[in-house]
Structure 1
Amino acid sequence: MMKIAWITDTAAQLDEAFIQQHDVYVLPLSVVFPDGEYRESIDLTQEQFYEKLRVAKVSPKTSQPAIGEMVSLYEKLQSEGYDIAIALHLSSGLSGTFESAQAAAKMTDFNVYPIDSKIGSFPMIKMIETGTELLSEGKEVEEVVATINEMATKSHLSFIPSSLNQLHKSGRVSGTQAFLSNVLNIKLVITFEEGKPVMKEKVRSNKRAKNHVVSALRTGMAAGTVSDVAVNHCNNAADAKIWKNELLKEFPELKVQVVPLSVCVGVHAGEGTTGLSWVAY
Protein backbone atom coordinates (compact mmCIF):
# COMPACT_ATOMS: atom_id res chain seq x y z
CA MET A 1 0.00 0.00 0.00
CA MET A 2 1.31 3.44 -0.92
CA LYS A 3 2.09 5.92 1.83
CA ILE A 4 0.20 9.12 1.00
CA ALA A 5 0.46 12.52 2.70
CA TRP A 6 -2.07 15.31 2.59
CA ILE A 7 -0.91 18.92 2.35
CA THR A 8 -3.03 22.03 2.73
CA ASP A 9 -2.78 25.58 4.08
CA THR A 10 -4.34 27.46 6.96
CA ALA A 11 -7.26 28.64 4.82
CA ALA A 12 -8.86 25.29 5.67
CA GLN A 13 -8.73 26.01 9.42
CA LEU A 14 -8.26 22.37 10.40
CA ASP A 15 -8.26 21.49 14.06
CA GLU A 16 -5.38 19.52 15.54
CA ALA A 17 -7.38 16.31 15.94
CA PHE A 18 -8.27 16.34 12.23
CA ILE A 19 -4.64 17.01 11.28
CA GLN A 20 -3.40 14.07 13.31
CA GLN A 21 -6.18 11.71 12.22
CA HIS A 22 -5.71 12.31 8.51
CA ASP A 23 -1.92 12.77 8.38
CA VAL A 24 -2.17 16.35 7.10
CA TYR A 25 0.73 18.78 6.74
CA VAL A 26 -0.37 22.42 6.96
CA LEU A 27 1.51 25.29 5.34
CA PRO A 28 0.75 28.60 7.06
CA LEU A 29 -0.53 31.65 5.23
CA SER A 30 0.90 34.86 6.64
CA VAL A 31 -0.29 38.33 7.59
CA VAL A 32 2.10 41.25 7.17
CA PHE A 33 1.69 44.15 9.61
CA PRO A 34 4.04 47.18 9.61
CA ASP A 35 5.97 45.58 12.49
CA GLY A 36 6.57 42.30 10.69
CA GLU A 37 5.19 39.14 9.13
CA TYR A 38 3.19 36.63 11.19
CA ARG A 39 2.45 33.04 10.19
CA GLU A 40 -1.15 32.08 10.87
CA SER A 41 -1.59 29.60 13.75
CA ILE A 42 2.16 29.69 14.47
CA ASP A 43 3.21 33.26 15.24
CA LEU A 44 -0.19 34.54 16.30
CA THR A 45 -3.58 33.20 17.30
CA GLN A 46 -6.89 34.38 15.91
CA GLU A 47 -7.45 36.45 19.06
CA GLN A 48 -4.03 38.09 18.77
CA PHE A 49 -4.61 38.88 15.11
CA TYR A 50 -7.87 40.72 15.76
CA GLU A 51 -6.31 42.60 18.67
CA LYS A 52 -3.62 43.87 16.29
CA LEU A 53 -6.16 44.56 13.53
CA ARG A 54 -8.29 46.79 15.79
CA VAL A 55 -5.42 49.18 16.48
CA ALA A 56 -3.63 48.97 13.12
CA LYS A 57 -3.38 52.33 11.37
CA VAL A 58 -2.37 50.61 8.14
CA SER A 59 -4.30 47.58 6.92
CA PRO A 60 -2.13 44.44 6.91
CA LYS A 61 -1.35 42.45 3.78
CA THR A 62 -1.52 38.72 3.25
CA SER A 63 1.30 36.48 2.07
CA GLN A 64 1.40 32.92 0.72
CA PRO A 65 3.88 30.21 1.75
CA ALA A 66 7.27 30.56 0.08
CA ILE A 67 7.98 28.14 -2.75
CA GLY A 68 11.17 27.10 -0.97
CA GLU A 69 9.10 26.07 2.04
CA MET A 70 7.02 23.83 -0.22
CA VAL A 71 10.06 22.26 -1.84
CA SER A 72 11.55 21.56 1.60
CA LEU A 73 8.30 19.92 2.74
CA TYR A 74 8.11 17.73 -0.37
CA GLU A 75 11.72 16.61 0.10
CA LYS A 76 11.08 15.92 3.80
CA LEU A 77 8.03 13.78 3.00
CA GLN A 78 9.98 11.84 0.41
CA SER A 79 12.79 11.20 2.89
CA GLU A 80 10.23 9.91 5.40
CA GLY A 81 9.02 7.26 2.99
CA TYR A 82 5.93 8.88 1.50
CA ASP A 83 5.21 7.85 -2.08
CA ILE A 84 2.74 10.60 -2.99
CA ALA A 85 1.29 13.84 -1.62
CA ILE A 86 -2.06 15.41 -2.43
CA ALA A 87 -1.81 19.17 -1.94
CA LEU A 88 -5.15 20.98 -1.60
CA HIS A 89 -4.85 24.76 -1.46
CA LEU A 90 -6.82 27.97 -1.14
CA SER A 91 -8.52 29.18 -4.31
CA SER A 92 -6.13 30.41 -6.98
CA GLY A 93 -8.52 33.32 -7.39
CA LEU A 94 -7.37 34.62 -4.00
CA SER A 95 -3.81 33.39 -3.62
CA GLY A 96 -0.84 32.15 -5.61
CA THR A 97 -0.41 29.20 -3.23
CA PHE A 98 -1.78 26.65 -5.72
CA GLU A 99 0.47 27.93 -8.53
CA SER A 100 3.47 27.81 -6.19
CA ALA A 101 2.61 24.22 -5.30
CA GLN A 102 2.58 23.35 -9.00
CA ALA A 103 5.95 25.00 -9.51
CA ALA A 104 7.45 23.42 -6.39
CA ALA A 105 6.29 19.96 -7.50
CA LYS A 106 8.32 20.36 -10.70
CA MET A 107 11.43 21.21 -8.68
CA THR A 108 11.60 17.80 -6.97
CA ASP A 109 11.22 14.19 -8.09
CA PHE A 110 8.53 13.63 -5.44
CA ASN A 111 5.08 12.88 -6.85
CA VAL A 112 2.73 15.72 -5.79
CA TYR A 113 -0.85 16.29 -6.96
CA PRO A 114 -1.66 20.00 -6.42
CA ILE A 115 -5.41 20.79 -6.35
CA ASP A 116 -7.08 24.19 -6.59
CA SER A 117 -9.98 24.09 -4.11
CA LYS A 118 -11.50 27.18 -5.81
CA ILE A 119 -12.66 28.18 -2.33
CA GLY A 120 -11.54 28.19 1.31
CA SER A 121 -12.61 27.07 4.77
CA PHE A 122 -15.05 24.22 5.46
CA PRO A 123 -15.37 22.81 1.90
CA MET A 124 -11.62 22.16 1.98
CA ILE A 125 -12.13 20.05 5.10
CA LYS A 126 -14.86 18.04 3.34
CA MET A 127 -12.59 17.50 0.34
CA ILE A 128 -9.84 16.02 2.51
CA GLU A 129 -12.35 13.90 4.46
CA THR A 130 -13.81 12.53 1.24
CA GLY A 131 -10.38 11.92 -0.24
CA THR A 132 -9.16 9.93 2.76
CA GLU A 133 -12.34 7.83 2.73
CA LEU A 134 -11.88 7.02 -0.96
CA LEU A 135 -8.24 6.06 -0.43
CA SER A 136 -9.23 3.77 2.45
CA GLU A 137 -11.68 2.07 0.06
CA GLY A 138 -8.81 1.35 -2.31
CA LYS A 139 -9.52 4.01 -4.92
CA GLU A 140 -6.64 5.12 -7.13
CA VAL A 141 -5.06 8.50 -6.42
CA GLU A 142 -6.08 9.82 -9.84
CA GLU A 143 -9.72 8.97 -9.10
CA VAL A 144 -9.51 10.68 -5.72
CA VAL A 145 -8.03 13.82 -7.29
CA ALA A 146 -10.75 13.84 -9.95
CA THR A 147 -13.45 13.54 -7.27
CA ILE A 148 -12.01 16.44 -5.28
CA ASN A 149 -11.79 18.59 -8.42
CA GLU A 150 -15.48 17.83 -8.99
CA MET A 151 -16.29 18.76 -5.39
CA ALA A 152 -14.57 22.11 -5.96
CA THR A 153 -17.20 22.93 -8.57
CA LYS A 154 -20.01 22.11 -6.13
CA SER A 155 -18.74 24.00 -3.09
CA HIS A 156 -20.33 27.14 -1.72
CA LEU A 157 -19.12 29.88 0.61
CA SER A 158 -21.01 33.11 1.27
CA PHE A 159 -20.20 35.60 3.99
CA ILE A 160 -21.60 38.85 5.36
CA PRO A 161 -19.12 41.46 6.63
CA SER A 162 -20.27 43.07 9.86
CA SER A 163 -19.38 46.45 8.38
CA LEU A 164 -17.49 47.81 5.39
CA ASN A 165 -14.81 49.46 7.52
CA GLN A 166 -12.15 46.81 6.97
CA LEU A 167 -13.08 46.45 3.30
CA HIS A 168 -12.44 50.20 3.06
CA LYS A 169 -9.10 49.96 4.91
CA SER A 170 -7.96 47.14 2.63
CA GLY A 171 -8.94 49.17 -0.44
CA ARG A 172 -11.93 47.05 -1.50
CA VAL A 173 -14.59 49.78 -1.12
CA SER A 174 -14.51 53.57 -0.99
CA GLY A 175 -14.80 55.66 2.15
CA THR A 176 -18.15 56.98 0.97
CA GLN A 177 -19.49 53.45 0.49
CA ALA A 178 -18.33 52.46 3.96
CA PHE A 179 -19.85 55.55 5.55
CA LEU A 180 -23.23 55.12 3.84
CA SER A 181 -23.28 51.43 4.69
CA ASN A 182 -22.82 52.18 8.38
CA VAL A 183 -25.42 54.95 8.37
CA LEU A 184 -28.05 53.02 6.40
CA ASN A 185 -27.25 49.57 7.88
CA ILE A 186 -26.50 48.16 4.44
CA LYS A 187 -25.08 44.65 4.39
CA LEU A 188 -23.18 42.95 1.60
CA VAL A 189 -23.43 39.28 0.71
CA ILE A 190 -20.16 38.08 -0.82
CA THR A 191 -20.12 34.69 -2.55
CA PHE A 192 -17.40 32.65 -4.23
CA GLU A 193 -17.95 32.21 -7.95
CA GLU A 194 -15.38 30.44 -10.13
CA GLY A 195 -12.87 30.76 -7.34
CA LYS A 196 -13.28 34.48 -6.69
CA PRO A 197 -15.37 36.42 -4.14
CA VAL A 198 -18.17 38.36 -5.83
CA MET A 199 -20.66 40.78 -4.30
CA LYS A 200 -24.02 39.06 -4.82
CA GLU A 201 -26.43 41.18 -2.82
CA LYS A 202 -26.69 44.54 -1.06
CA VAL A 203 -29.57 44.68 1.43
CA ARG A 204 -30.81 46.60 4.42
CA SER A 205 -30.27 44.69 7.67
CA ASN A 206 -28.31 41.63 8.65
CA LYS A 207 -31.51 39.56 8.78
CA ARG A 208 -32.17 40.06 5.08
CA ALA A 209 -28.56 39.25 4.25
CA LYS A 210 -28.79 36.00 6.22
CA ASN A 211 -32.07 35.14 4.52
CA HIS A 212 -30.36 35.55 1.15
CA VAL A 213 -27.60 33.12 2.13
CA VAL A 214 -30.03 30.59 3.60
CA SER A 215 -32.10 30.80 0.41
CA ALA A 216 -28.98 29.74 -1.51
CA LEU A 217 -28.63 26.82 0.91
CA ARG A 218 -32.23 25.77 0.26
CA THR A 219 -31.52 25.88 -3.49
CA GLY A 220 -28.41 23.78 -3.00
CA MET A 221 -30.32 21.23 -0.95
CA ALA A 222 -33.03 21.02 -3.60
CA ALA A 223 -30.46 20.48 -6.38
CA GLY A 224 -28.34 17.89 -4.59
CA THR A 225 -27.43 16.33 -1.27
CA VAL A 226 -26.15 18.66 1.44
CA SER A 227 -25.53 16.84 4.70
CA ASP A 228 -23.03 19.17 6.38
CA VAL A 229 -23.03 22.95 6.72
CA ALA A 230 -20.57 25.22 8.47
CA VAL A 231 -21.36 28.58 9.98
CA ASN A 232 -18.17 30.53 9.39
CA HIS A 233 -17.05 33.63 11.25
CA CYS A 234 -14.27 36.13 11.82
CA ASN A 235 -13.90 36.22 15.61
CA ASN A 236 -17.67 36.16 16.05
CA ALA A 237 -18.45 32.76 17.53
CA ALA A 238 -21.43 34.11 19.48
CA ASP A 239 -23.41 35.17 16.38
CA ALA A 240 -22.24 32.03 14.55
CA LYS A 241 -23.75 29.84 17.28
CA ILE A 242 -27.03 31.76 17.08
CA TRP A 243 -27.13 31.17 13.32
CA LYS A 244 -26.31 27.49 13.87
CA ASN A 245 -29.32 27.11 16.18
CA GLU A 246 -31.56 28.89 13.66
CA LEU A 247 -30.44 26.48 10.94
CA LEU A 248 -31.05 23.43 13.11
CA LYS A 249 -34.61 24.57 13.77
CA GLU A 250 -35.33 24.76 10.05
CA PHE A 251 -33.13 21.84 8.97
CA PRO A 252 -32.97 19.40 11.91
CA GLU A 253 -31.44 16.71 9.66
CA LEU A 254 -28.37 18.82 8.90
CA LYS A 255 -25.05 18.47 10.66
CA VAL A 256 -24.05 22.07 11.43
CA GLN A 257 -20.61 23.10 12.62
CA VAL A 258 -19.11 26.43 13.63
CA VAL A 259 -15.80 27.00 11.83
CA PRO A 260 -13.65 30.15 11.99
CA LEU A 261 -12.49 31.77 8.79
CA SER A 262 -8.78 32.24 8.17
CA VAL A 263 -7.35 35.52 9.46
CA CYS A 264 -6.45 36.19 5.82
CA VAL A 265 -10.19 36.56 5.21
CA GLY A 266 -10.38 38.79 8.28
CA VAL A 267 -7.81 41.11 6.72
CA HIS A 268 -10.39 42.04 4.09
CA ALA A 269 -13.83 41.15 5.49
CA GLY A 270 -13.13 42.35 9.03
CA GLU A 271 -14.00 41.22 12.52
CA GLY A 272 -17.62 40.19 13.07
CA THR A 273 -18.11 38.64 9.64
CA THR A 274 -20.36 35.56 9.48
CA GLY A 275 -21.27 33.21 6.65
CA LEU A 276 -22.24 29.73 5.52
CA SER A 277 -20.38 27.09 3.53
CA TRP A 278 -21.21 23.62 2.24
CA VAL A 279 -20.64 21.08 -0.53
CA ALA A 280 -23.56 19.78 -2.60
CA TYR A 281 -23.09 16.17 -3.71
Structure 2
Amino acid sequence: MKKIAWITDTAAQLDEAFIQKHHVHVLPLSVVFDEGSYRESIDLTQKEFYDKLRLAKVSPKTSQPAIGEMLSLYEKLQSEGYDLAIALHLSSGLSGTFESAQSAAEMSDFKVYPIDSKIGSFPMVKMIETGDKLLAEGKGVEEVVATIKEMTAKSHLSFIPSSLNQLHKSGRVSGTQAFLSNILNIKLVITFVDGKTVMKEKVRSNKRAKNTVMDALRADMAKGTVPEVAAIHCNNAADAEIWKNELLQEFPGLKVQVVQLSVCVGVHAGEGTTGLSWVAY
Protein backbone atom coordinates (compact mmCIF):
# COMPACT_ATOMS: atom_id res chain seq x y z
CA MET A 1 0.00 0.00 0.00
CA LYS A 2 1.12 3.54 -0.71
CA LYS A 3 1.82 5.83 2.20
CA ILE A 4 -0.60 8.75 1.78
CA ALA A 5 -0.65 11.99 3.81
CA TRP A 6 -3.62 14.24 4.47
CA ILE A 7 -3.14 18.00 4.39
CA THR A 8 -5.66 20.69 5.30
CA ASP A 9 -5.80 24.16 6.87
CA THR A 10 -7.20 25.55 10.09
CA ALA A 11 -10.57 26.35 8.48
CA ALA A 12 -11.40 22.69 9.20
CA GLN A 13 -10.86 23.25 12.96
CA LEU A 14 -9.68 19.69 13.61
CA ASP A 15 -9.15 18.59 17.18
CA GLU A 16 -5.92 16.90 18.20
CA ALA A 17 -7.49 13.43 18.48
CA PHE A 18 -8.73 13.62 14.87
CA ILE A 19 -5.37 14.90 13.64
CA GLN A 20 -3.55 11.99 15.30
CA LYS A 21 -6.07 9.35 14.23
CA HIS A 22 -6.06 10.34 10.56
CA HIS A 23 -2.45 11.57 10.37
CA VAL A 24 -3.45 15.02 9.14
CA HIS A 25 -0.97 17.84 8.56
CA VAL A 26 -2.55 21.25 9.19
CA LEU A 27 -1.40 24.51 7.61
CA PRO A 28 -2.45 27.57 9.65
CA LEU A 29 -4.44 30.45 8.24
CA SER A 30 -3.44 33.80 9.73
CA VAL A 31 -5.19 36.83 11.18
CA VAL A 32 -3.47 40.18 10.68
CA PHE A 33 -4.10 42.89 13.28
CA ASP A 34 -2.46 46.33 13.20
CA GLU A 35 0.37 45.17 15.43
CA GLY A 36 1.17 41.97 13.53
CA SER A 37 0.16 38.64 12.06
CA TYR A 38 -0.94 35.64 14.12
CA ARG A 39 -1.16 32.04 12.94
CA GLU A 40 -4.45 30.43 13.93
CA SER A 41 -4.13 27.72 16.61
CA ILE A 42 -0.39 28.43 16.96
CA ASP A 43 0.13 32.08 17.89
CA LEU A 44 -3.45 32.83 18.85
CA THR A 45 -6.15 30.92 20.72
CA GLN A 46 -9.86 31.44 20.08
CA LYS A 47 -10.22 33.38 23.36
CA GLU A 48 -7.23 35.59 22.61
CA PHE A 49 -8.59 36.35 19.13
CA TYR A 50 -12.02 37.49 20.37
CA ASP A 51 -10.43 39.50 23.18
CA LYS A 52 -8.34 41.33 20.58
CA LEU A 53 -11.24 41.67 18.13
CA ARG A 54 -13.39 43.49 20.71
CA LEU A 55 -10.64 46.05 21.26
CA ALA A 56 -9.56 46.46 17.62
CA LYS A 57 -10.26 49.90 16.15
CA VAL A 58 -9.52 48.57 12.64
CA SER A 59 -10.91 45.22 11.57
CA PRO A 60 -8.20 42.57 11.12
CA LYS A 61 -7.47 40.88 7.80
CA THR A 62 -6.97 37.20 7.05
CA SER A 63 -4.16 35.64 5.07
CA GLN A 64 -3.44 32.22 3.58
CA PRO A 65 -0.40 29.99 4.13
CA ALA A 66 2.55 30.98 1.96
CA ILE A 67 3.54 28.79 -0.98
CA GLY A 68 6.96 28.38 0.63
CA GLU A 69 5.32 26.91 3.72
CA MET A 70 3.44 24.42 1.55
CA LEU A 71 6.60 23.44 -0.36
CA SER A 72 8.44 22.90 2.93
CA LEU A 73 5.67 20.60 4.12
CA TYR A 74 5.70 18.64 0.85
CA GLU A 75 9.48 18.17 1.14
CA LYS A 76 9.11 17.06 4.75
CA LEU A 77 6.45 14.49 3.85
CA GLN A 78 8.58 13.15 1.02
CA SER A 79 11.57 12.81 3.35
CA GLU A 80 9.35 10.88 5.79
CA GLY A 81 8.57 8.29 3.14
CA TYR A 82 5.13 9.42 1.98
CA ASP A 83 4.32 8.58 -1.63
CA LEU A 84 1.76 11.35 -2.10
CA ALA A 85 -0.67 13.67 -0.32
CA ILE A 86 -4.30 14.73 -0.61
CA ALA A 87 -4.63 18.42 0.28
CA LEU A 88 -8.15 19.58 1.17
CA HIS A 89 -8.47 23.34 1.58
CA LEU A 90 -10.91 26.11 2.44
CA SER A 91 -13.20 27.22 -0.39
CA SER A 92 -11.40 29.07 -3.18
CA GLY A 93 -14.34 31.50 -3.09
CA LEU A 94 -13.08 32.74 0.29
CA SER A 95 -9.33 32.20 0.22
CA GLY A 96 -6.43 31.73 -2.16
CA THR A 97 -5.19 28.72 -0.18
CA PHE A 98 -6.42 26.17 -2.74
CA GLU A 99 -4.82 28.06 -5.65
CA SER A 100 -1.56 28.29 -3.71
CA ALA A 101 -1.69 24.54 -3.10
CA GLN A 102 -2.15 23.98 -6.84
CA SER A 103 0.86 26.17 -7.62
CA ALA A 104 2.98 24.53 -4.93
CA ALA A 105 2.03 21.06 -6.22
CA GLU A 106 3.17 22.03 -9.72
CA MET A 107 6.48 23.31 -8.33
CA SER A 108 7.18 20.19 -6.27
CA ASP A 109 8.30 16.74 -7.41
CA PHE A 110 6.16 15.30 -4.58
CA LYS A 111 2.73 14.22 -5.84
CA VAL A 112 -0.08 16.26 -4.28
CA TYR A 113 -3.80 16.18 -5.10
CA PRO A 114 -5.21 19.61 -4.11
CA ILE A 115 -9.00 19.70 -3.56
CA ASP A 116 -11.21 22.78 -3.26
CA SER A 117 -13.68 21.93 -0.48
CA LYS A 118 -15.95 24.78 -1.68
CA ILE A 119 -16.82 25.27 1.98
CA GLY A 120 -15.19 25.26 5.42
CA SER A 121 -15.58 23.81 8.91
CA PHE A 122 -17.53 20.61 9.61
CA PRO A 123 -17.91 19.29 6.02
CA MET A 124 -14.12 19.37 5.61
CA VAL A 125 -13.86 17.05 8.62
CA LYS A 126 -16.34 14.61 7.08
CA MET A 127 -14.49 14.71 3.74
CA ILE A 128 -11.20 13.70 5.35
CA GLU A 129 -12.95 11.08 7.50
CA THR A 130 -14.69 9.57 4.45
CA GLY A 131 -11.55 9.69 2.31
CA ASP A 132 -9.41 8.02 4.96
CA LYS A 133 -12.02 5.27 5.36
CA LEU A 134 -11.98 4.61 1.61
CA LEU A 135 -8.18 4.45 1.57
CA ALA A 136 -8.27 1.95 4.43
CA GLU A 137 -10.68 -0.14 2.34
CA GLY A 138 -8.13 -0.23 -0.47
CA LYS A 139 -9.71 2.32 -2.81
CA GLY A 140 -7.38 4.10 -5.22
CA VAL A 141 -6.44 7.72 -4.63
CA GLU A 142 -8.22 8.91 -7.80
CA GLU A 143 -11.46 7.32 -6.60
CA VAL A 144 -11.04 8.89 -3.18
CA VAL A 145 -10.43 12.33 -4.67
CA ALA A 146 -13.48 11.94 -6.94
CA THR A 147 -15.66 10.95 -3.98
CA ILE A 148 -14.56 13.98 -1.96
CA LYS A 149 -15.26 16.28 -4.89
CA GLU A 150 -18.77 14.81 -5.09
CA MET A 151 -19.22 15.56 -1.39
CA THR A 152 -18.48 19.25 -1.96
CA ALA A 153 -21.75 19.56 -3.89
CA LYS A 154 -23.69 17.93 -1.04
CA SER A 155 -22.23 19.98 1.78
CA HIS A 156 -24.16 22.75 3.48
CA LEU A 157 -23.19 25.52 5.87
CA SER A 158 -25.40 28.45 6.86
CA PHE A 159 -24.81 30.96 9.61
CA ILE A 160 -26.55 33.90 11.25
CA PRO A 161 -24.36 36.78 12.49
CA SER A 162 -25.42 38.04 15.92
CA SER A 163 -25.25 41.57 14.55
CA LEU A 164 -23.93 43.29 11.43
CA ASN A 165 -21.33 45.30 13.37
CA GLN A 166 -18.35 43.12 12.40
CA LEU A 167 -19.61 42.75 8.82
CA HIS A 168 -19.63 46.55 8.72
CA LYS A 169 -16.11 46.80 10.19
CA SER A 170 -14.80 44.32 7.63
CA GLY A 171 -16.44 46.28 4.80
CA ARG A 172 -19.14 43.73 3.95
CA VAL A 173 -22.15 45.94 4.77
CA SER A 174 -22.63 49.70 5.07
CA GLY A 175 -22.89 51.60 8.34
CA THR A 176 -26.50 52.46 7.57
CA GLN A 177 -27.35 48.78 7.02
CA ALA A 178 -25.67 47.81 10.29
CA PHE A 179 -27.44 50.58 12.21
CA LEU A 180 -30.89 49.74 10.82
CA SER A 181 -30.43 46.01 11.39
CA ASN A 182 -29.66 46.62 15.06
CA ILE A 183 -32.65 48.95 15.48
CA LEU A 184 -35.10 46.72 13.60
CA ASN A 185 -33.66 43.36 14.76
CA ILE A 186 -32.96 42.29 11.18
CA LYS A 187 -31.02 39.06 10.84
CA LEU A 188 -29.07 37.84 7.82
CA VAL A 189 -28.87 34.20 6.83
CA ILE A 190 -25.59 33.64 4.99
CA THR A 191 -24.96 30.37 3.19
CA PHE A 192 -22.43 28.78 0.85
CA VAL A 193 -23.46 28.55 -2.81
CA ASP A 194 -20.93 27.03 -5.22
CA GLY A 195 -18.06 27.87 -2.90
CA LYS A 196 -19.05 31.46 -2.16
CA THR A 197 -20.96 32.99 0.74
CA VAL A 198 -24.20 34.68 -0.27
CA MET A 199 -26.97 36.37 1.67
CA LYS A 200 -29.86 33.94 1.43
CA GLU A 201 -32.44 35.75 3.57
CA LYS A 202 -32.94 38.99 5.46
CA VAL A 203 -35.62 38.50 8.12
CA ARG A 204 -36.95 40.04 11.30
CA SER A 205 -35.97 38.12 14.44
CA ASN A 206 -33.48 35.38 15.17
CA LYS A 207 -36.29 32.81 15.37
CA ARG A 208 -37.24 33.37 11.72
CA ALA A 209 -33.61 33.26 10.65
CA LYS A 210 -33.09 29.95 12.43
CA ASN A 211 -36.24 28.55 10.83
CA THR A 212 -34.88 29.46 7.38
CA VAL A 213 -31.79 27.37 8.08
CA MET A 214 -33.90 24.59 9.59
CA ASP A 215 -36.09 24.46 6.46
CA ALA A 216 -33.01 23.74 4.35
CA LEU A 217 -32.04 20.94 6.73
CA ARG A 218 -35.58 19.53 6.74
CA ALA A 219 -35.54 19.45 2.94
CA ASP A 220 -32.29 17.42 2.88
CA MET A 221 -33.55 15.15 5.68
CA ALA A 222 -36.68 14.44 3.62
CA LYS A 223 -34.90 13.57 0.36
CA GLY A 224 -31.73 11.88 1.59
CA THR A 225 -29.68 10.77 4.51
CA VAL A 226 -28.22 13.35 6.88
CA PRO A 227 -26.75 11.29 9.73
CA GLU A 228 -24.98 14.13 11.48
CA VAL A 229 -25.29 17.91 11.91
CA ALA A 230 -22.96 20.46 13.46
CA ALA A 231 -24.29 23.42 15.41
CA ILE A 232 -21.58 25.92 14.51
CA HIS A 233 -20.65 29.15 16.28
CA CYS A 234 -18.21 32.01 16.74
CA ASN A 235 -17.46 32.08 20.48
CA ASN A 236 -21.11 31.38 21.29
CA ALA A 237 -21.24 27.79 22.52
CA ALA A 238 -24.24 28.51 24.76
CA ASP A 239 -26.58 29.40 21.87
CA ALA A 240 -25.14 26.57 19.76
CA GLU A 241 -26.03 24.13 22.57
CA ILE A 242 -29.58 25.50 22.60
CA TRP A 243 -29.82 24.90 18.86
CA LYS A 244 -28.41 21.40 19.33
CA ASN A 245 -31.13 20.58 21.85
CA GLU A 246 -33.81 21.96 19.52
CA LEU A 247 -32.50 19.72 16.74
CA LEU A 248 -32.59 16.66 18.97
CA GLN A 249 -36.19 17.40 19.95
CA GLU A 250 -37.25 17.47 16.30
CA PHE A 251 -34.90 14.68 15.12
CA PRO A 252 -34.28 12.36 18.11
CA GLY A 253 -32.07 9.95 16.15
CA LEU A 254 -29.83 12.63 14.70
CA LYS A 255 -26.20 12.91 15.78
CA VAL A 256 -25.46 16.54 16.64
CA GLN A 257 -22.23 18.12 17.76
CA VAL A 258 -21.26 21.69 18.65
CA VAL A 259 -18.39 23.04 16.54
CA GLN A 260 -16.40 26.26 16.92
CA LEU A 261 -15.77 28.06 13.62
CA SER A 262 -12.35 29.25 12.51
CA VAL A 263 -11.36 32.68 13.77
CA CYS A 264 -11.09 33.65 10.09
CA VAL A 265 -14.89 33.38 9.97
CA GLY A 266 -15.08 35.46 13.12
CA VAL A 267 -13.12 38.24 11.39
CA HIS A 268 -16.07 38.77 9.06
CA ALA A 269 -19.17 37.30 10.74
CA GLY A 270 -18.31 38.48 14.24
CA GLU A 271 -18.62 37.09 17.74
CA GLY A 272 -21.97 35.50 18.59
CA THR A 273 -22.59 34.03 15.15
CA THR A 274 -24.40 30.66 15.09
CA GLY A 275 -25.48 28.29 12.33
CA LEU A 276 -25.78 24.73 11.10
CA SER A 277 -23.67 22.58 8.82
CA TRP A 278 -24.13 19.09 7.37
CA VAL A 279 -23.39 16.76 4.46
CA ALA A 280 -26.26 15.07 2.63
CA TYR A 281 -25.36 11.56 1.49
Given the two structures, how large is their TM-score scaled by the length of structure 2?
1.00
Q: Could you tell me how far apart the structure 1 residues matched to 2:64 and 2:111 are?
A: 22
- Aligned partner of 2:270 in structure 1 is 270
Kindly provide the amino acid, as one letter, of the partner of residue 78 in structure 2: Q
1:208 equivalent to 2:208? Answer yes
Cα distance, 1:220 vs. partner?
1.1
Superposition map of 1:155-170 within 5 A: 155-170=155-170
Query: Which residue is equivalent to 2:49?
Result: 49
2:261 — aligned with what? 261
The equivalent of 1:15 in structure 2 is 15
Give the counterpart letter for 2:270 in structure 1: G
Q: CA deviation at 1:223?
A: 2.1
User: Which whole-Å CA distance do the structure 1 matches of 2:252 and 2:102 have between them?
Assistant: 41
Question: 3-state SS of the aligned residue for 2:76?
Answer: helix
Q: Which runs of 5+ in 2 are unaligned?
A: none
SS in 2 for 1:76: helix
Q: How far does residue 224 in structure 1 lie from its aligned partner after superposition?
A: 1.5
1:60 aligns with 2:60: yes
Could you tell me which residue of structure 2 aligns to residue 129 of structure 1? 129
Q: What residue in structure 2 maps to residue 194 of structure 1? A: 194
Give the aligned residue type for 1:204: R
Match of 2:80 in 1: 80
**In the TM superposition, what are the counterparts of 1:104-183 in structure 2 within 5 Å?**
104-183=104-183
Give per-residue Cα distances to partners, 1:93-139, cap 9 Å, x unaligned.
Answer: 00000000000011111010000000000000000000011001100
- SS at structure 2 position matched to 1:59: coil
Match of 2:69 in 1: 69
Note the residue ranges of structure 1 that are not aligned, 5 or more in a row: none
Counterparts of 1:110 and 1:120, CA distance in 2: 26
Alignment partner of 2:14: what SS? Answer: coil
Deviation at 1:221, TM superposition (A): 1.2
Residue aligned with 1:120, SS: coil
Distance 1:224 1:116 in 2: 24
Q: Percent identity?
A: 85
Give the aligned residue type for 1:150: E
What is the CA deviation profile of residues 201-222 of structure 1, one whole-angstrom value per residue up to 9, with x for unaligned ones?
A: 0111101100110110001112
Q: Which residue identity is paired with 2:273?
A: T
Matches of 1:14 and 1:222, distance apart in 2: 29
Alignment partners' CA distance in 1, 2:88 and 2:221: 25
The residue correspondences of 1:88-107 to structure 2 (distance < 5 A) are 88-107=88-107
SS of equivalent to 1:207: helix
Letter in 1 for 2:162: S
**Residue 144 of structure 1 aligns to which amino acid in structure 2?**
V
| AA of the residue aligned to 2:62 | T
SS of the residue 1:6 aligns to: strand
Cα distance in 1 for partners of 2:228, 2:71 equals 34
**Aligned pairs, how many?**
281
One-letter amino acid of the structure 1 residue matched with residue 8 of structure 2: T
> What letter corresponds to residue 219 of structure 1 in structure 2?
A
Instruction: Give the letter aligned to residue 263 of structure 1.
Output: V
Q: 1:248: Cα distance to partner?
A: 0.4
